[in-house]
Amino acid sequence: MGFFTLTFIIWIACLHQLIISTTLTWSFSFIENTQNPDNVILATYTNIPQEEGIDIVCRCYDDHHEHKLPFLTSDLRELMRLKLEGNSFNFNEKHFVHTHRIAMGTKMAVAFSFISMADFKKRLLAASPMKPFVWKRFIGDIFSLWKIPMEVSIFVNFANSFHPTIKYTCELSSERAFFVDTEVLKGPPLSSLKILDSQTHFKPTETFQYTHFSSCHPVNIKKGFMKEALRLLRTNSVKDNFNKYMYK
């Protein structure tokens, strides 16, 4: 059962790559696609109903294979139900079964959310009277650029009335914005080169504590420090900022 589940999850994860080019894969992709903004909106909190998400994935599956399906859509639907509805947990000595929306801990949640939110974004932008001139999304987080500030609040209100469970919050700024692990801001290069600066964004709870290499931990955990260094390298456009965070 474990091998079957993992194979199925990998297949669903591959399917999500077929969706819309505005989906970002990591910070570097976001930085490459960022333009000079007048205003920035960040957001969203996803709350995807199970049956609606299953319908979206099945529709994408049919469209991608042009109805020449490797296996029946009905079988795919039942497999997703089995995976999404089979989550349970104990709380206060009581047993609960997850029946609504998506459990964050499941391996399928990311790919499932990618596909569902891509479809939601497509329908939302098609229906909205106000549209940003840049829209970049990472699952439920969105970075968008607007030319007219008042259009942002109109768009957010429209988006919050568009779906009963998927709601948006926004942070609006003409100077800087936070997107996942990256802060984008107007720096000196803006006036001459018309580009934005970027630097790593840390949450207030970050302690900058690292495992000593001689400690009794698996080697892959110790090597994780190098991944952190690469993240700092790709999210900081200014060398001084990279050095500051690297040795913090």
Rounded distance, CA 86 to CA 244, Å? 46
- At position 165, the amino acid (one-letter code) is T
Average pLDDT rounded to a whole number, residues 95-104:
75
Rounded distance, CA 111 to CA 98, Å? 19
> pLDDT of 22-80, one tens digit each?
444 444 445 555 544 444 433 333 478 888 889 998 888 888 887 788 888 888 888 88
Asked if 15 and 64 count as a contact pair (C-beta separation under 8 A), the reply is yes
Question: What interhelical angle do 2-16 and 109-127 show, nearest 10?
Answer: 30
Average pLDDT rounded to a whole number, residues 187-208:
81
Q: How many CB atoms lie within 10 A of CB 100?
A: 13
Asked if 73 and 61 count as a contact pair (C-beta separation under 8 A), the reply is yes
What is the per-residue pLDDT for 105?
66
At residue 88, does pLDDT exceed 80? no
> pLDDT of 125-178, one tens digit each?
999 988 888 888 776 678 888 888 888 889 989 988 998 888 887 877 788 888
Rounded distance, CA 98 to CA 103, Å? 7
Asked if 165 and 49 count as a contact pair (C-beta separation under 8 A), the reply is yes
Give the phi and the psi of residue 117 in degrees, each rounded to 5.
-70, -30
0.75 surpassed by pTM: no
